[in-house]
Amino acid sequence: MQKDFDKWNNLKKSIDASQTDTFANPREVWWCSLGVNVGIETDGKPDLFERPVLVLKVFNAEMIWVLPITSVLKEASFRYVFIFNHTKQSVVVTQIRTISTKRLRRKVGTIPEEDFENIQKKLINIIQNETPPIGGESRRPKP
DSSP for 34-79?
A: ----STTSPPPBTTTTEEEEEEEEE-SSSEEEEEEEES-----TTE
Residue 29: pLDDT band by 50, 70, 90 thresholds? very high
**Per-residue model confidence (pLDDT) at position 45:** 66
* Mean pLDDT confidence for 74-92: 82
5-14, 79-88, 124-133: range with highest mean pLDDT:
79-88
Average pLDDT, integer, range 68-86? 81
Domain layout of the chain by residue ranges: 5-128
Distance CA 120, CA 32 (A): 20
Q: Indicate whether 104 pLDDT > 50.
A: yes
CB atoms within 10 A of CB 15: 17
| d(C-alpha 24, C-alpha 30), whole Å | 8
Among 74, 24, 36, 33, residue whose Cα is nearest residue 51: 33
Q: Which fold has domain 5-128?
A: SH3 type barrels. (2.30.30)
Tell me if 129 sits within 8 A of 121, measured CB to CB.
no
CB 93, CB 56: distance < 8 Å: no
Q: Give this prediction's pTM.
A: 0.75
Cis omega (within 30 of 0) for bond into 16: no
What is the length of the chain?
Answer: 143
Region 40-59 average pLDDT: 76
Coil, helix or strand at residue 96? coil
